[in-house]
Every structure is written in structure tokens, then in C-alpha cells.
Amino acid sequence: MKIKRFAAAAALTGLMALTACDGPAKSPEAPAASKAAAFAHDLPEDVSGYYIPSEEVRVDNWRLHHVFMGQVPDFIAWEGGQRPAGFAPVMIEFEDMVGPPLENGNRRRLRLIPAAYDVTEDRVRVQALSGGLGAVSFDGKLDQGALATARRNLGDKGVVLKGTLKVGNRTFNNVSMRWWAGD
């Protein structure tokens, strides 16, 4: 049922928000009838943090940098209509590996704000659109035991999220990610 709900919501919304980390983003506004279905979570535990690929996943000059998930109140606020620019409770971020570095030495990044998501304690599904990359989706299994271990160790090399990333017409199976709390 959740898969059908997620697929239908993603098809209904067809929304996009994209930003470089050094600039503002527009938050998507779903039609009133599909808001509840497009964004859903069922999280009894905190899964917040950065999920960083164990191995490089690259599409042309763009490398998957991380999948971010916020805290449960972030999901509740987003689903309630609070949509701050440049932030969502689930985001996918890519890094430009070919372009020149920014003034601060970092690389330019694309932050994808979801058009739809469905996040549970053991599943992460998110869809977004990018002008440069096309349709982007991730469907992964979240390992709560591995996540608990990573949290206790303040991050480690263990795989906590594993799934399929689709970028345009390319599919990357078995994308493995470790957890990091962030700065």
C-alpha cells in the first residue's frame, strides 16, 4: 500500500527544488489534494544525520555526496506545510567533481529537495527533480541495528542504508551508505 501511495504521490506532484549550497532554494508547494500523500513518514526512532556513500557513485561530473535526513519534528513540520527555503527533512546532495572550486575551496553542490518521500524505520524512498540530472530517486533499506551501532560510535564504516539510486536514465544498484552525525 505504501509503495502505491508513494508512486501515486510522486506522479501527482511532479515538483522540483534545486540549489547550490551557496545559494537559496525554492521549496516545493504540492497541490492541496496531494500534500498528505506526497510526503509521509513513520519514524518511532531518530534517523537524523548524513548518509554517505561507501563507494563513489558518479553521473558525468556529479558525484553523490550524501543523503540527509532530519529529525522527526522536521518531518512533522514539512508535512504540516512549513517549508523553509533550501531545507527538507530528506535531501539528496551531489557534488561537482569537474568544475572549479568555490572561493572557500569547496566544490559546488546540488541539493535536491524532494517532490515526494516516504520514510519509515526500515525504508527510505525519495524522489526529486534536477534541471541538470533529470529525475532522481532513491529507494533503500535502513538497518536500525547498524544505525544504532554507528550512533554509539559517532559514525563508523558500517553500512546502515543500502538501496537503488536512479539518476535520469541511469540506475545504480546496491548503493551502500554509512552514517555520520555531521558537524
Does pLDDT of 175 surpass 90?
Answer: yes
Lowest mean pLDDT among 4-13, 119-128, 165-174: 4-13
Q: Which amino acid is at 76?
A: I
Q: Which residues contact 182 (CB under 8 A, 6 or more apart)?
A: 49, 50
For the residues 103-110, what does the mean pLDDT come to?
89
d(CA 109, CA 132): 12
Q: What are phi and psi of 158, to 5 degrees?
A: -70, 145
| Percent of residues, the chain, with pLDDT higher than 70 | 80
Give 130-161 pLDDT, tens digit per residue.
Answer: 878 999 999 999 999 999 999 998 877 799 99
Question: Which structural domain, as residue segments, surrounds residue 130?
Answer: 2-180
Q: Determine the pLDDT at residue 37.
A: 61
pLDDT of residue 47: 94
Return phi, psi of residue 141, to 5°.
-100, 130
Q: What is the pLDDT of residues 7-58, one digit of tens each?
A: 444 443 333 333 344 433 333 444 343 444 699 999 988 999 999 999 999 9
d(CA 134, CA 107): 21
CB environment 56-78: b (16+ within 10 A), e (fewer): ebbbeebbbbbbbbbebebbebb
Q: Which residue has the cell 558518479?
A: 58
Nearest to 83 by CA among 139, 38, 138, 131: 38
State the total domains in the chain.
Answer: 1
